[in-house]
Amino acid sequence: MALSAHGCRHMWASLSRIADLSRLLDRHPRLNWNYVFEQYAHPDLQRMIFLSLIVAHDLLGAAVPENILQRTKQDSVAVALAQQVRERLFEHKGESRGLRFTYFQLRLRCNWIDRIRYCYRVVWTPTLLEWNVALPGFLFPLYFVLRPIRLARKYLSQLISEKL
């Protein structure tokens, strides 16, 4: 699950991450899949696992049991996201943190509540970029205001540059 979550967090933009997962699957052919799916029963986690298995199998021929592979391919969103990963893997544009990244992360979520929670965290949780702005202690609450302002500026500039 750790490899799947980390790979999904970075949109599977690195072949080395896919190779790590593929090697793990190849080295453990008798993996207890029932246990895996019981432990990670939340639909969002299962979608991450499905996406990861599809990518590792399709790109590097990872040893995924046929019944598990069929189960993964029943999730049409995981299949579509895997296609997106395959198309973008060798684009050499680096890891995108813009609208494409956000859309990818939203599609990993299986229901609207989880998507709303994700958006809330993205907008209101300050990152290192906001914390690097040195504010006096009494202005501490402004860190939480800087984040949505910085995001709005970032996404608006991306939209404008895409239209040009």
| pLDDT at 93 (0 to 100) | 58
DSSP code of residue 27: H
| pLDDT at 108 (0 to 100) | 95
Inside any domain, residue 108:
yes
Rounded to whole angstroms, how far apart are CA atoms 63 and 57?
7
Inside any domain, residue 132:
yes
Rounded to whole angstroms, how far apart are CA atoms 49 and 37?
9
The CA-atom distances, in angstroms, between 102 and each of 107, 109, 111, 142 are 9, 11, 15, 24
Given a cut of 70, the residues of the chain with pLDDT beneath it are 92-97, 164
Q: What would the pLDDT profile of 14-33 be if each residue is shown by its tens digit?
A: 899 999 999 999 999 999 99
Amino acid at 136: P
Residues 20 and 59 grouped into a single domain: yes
Range of the domain at 40: 2-88
Residues 83 and 145 grouped into a single domain: no
| pLDDT at 154 (0 to 100) | 81
Number of domains in the chain: 2
Single pTM value for the model: 0.79
| pLDDT at 164 (0 to 100) | 64
Other Cβ atoms less than 10 A from the Cβ of 106: the count is 15
CB 6, CB 74: distance < 8 Å: no
